[in-house]
Amino acid sequence: MNIPTLIAEISRMKARNAFRNFIEYIQFPYFRNLEKNTRIIFDFPLTVFVGQNGSGKSSTLHALYGAPKKILRLNFGFQLLLTRL
């Protein structure tokens, strides 16, 4: 299959709600280096984070990881510490 065919198939699957855990957007009232009330919309099928070192790309992804379960991942080293919000 070529890329446009794959994207079309994935789009049809999304329309049929085949992706139960698909996140449409996330909003940050206050978060690190992001502007107040930043909303990131995950345009289907691909969203890319681009920025300078220290701009909050990884922190934003960590927050996104914990968002569906309302878990804040405080430490992403060898030992994970999970805290309920």
Name residues whose C-beta falls within 8 Å of residue 8's C-beta, 6 or more positions apart in sequence. none
Q: What pTM did the predictor assign?
A: 0.56
Separation between Cα atoms, residue 64 and residue 41, nearest integer Å: 12
Separation between Cα atoms, residue 59 and residue 65, nearest integer Å: 10
Q: What's the one-letter identity of residue 84?
A: R
- The answer to whether the CB of 43 falls within 8 A of the CB of 26 is no
What digits encode the pLDDT tens for the residues 9-47? 988 988 888 877 777 888 888 887 788 888 988 877 677
Mean pLDDT taken over the chain? 75
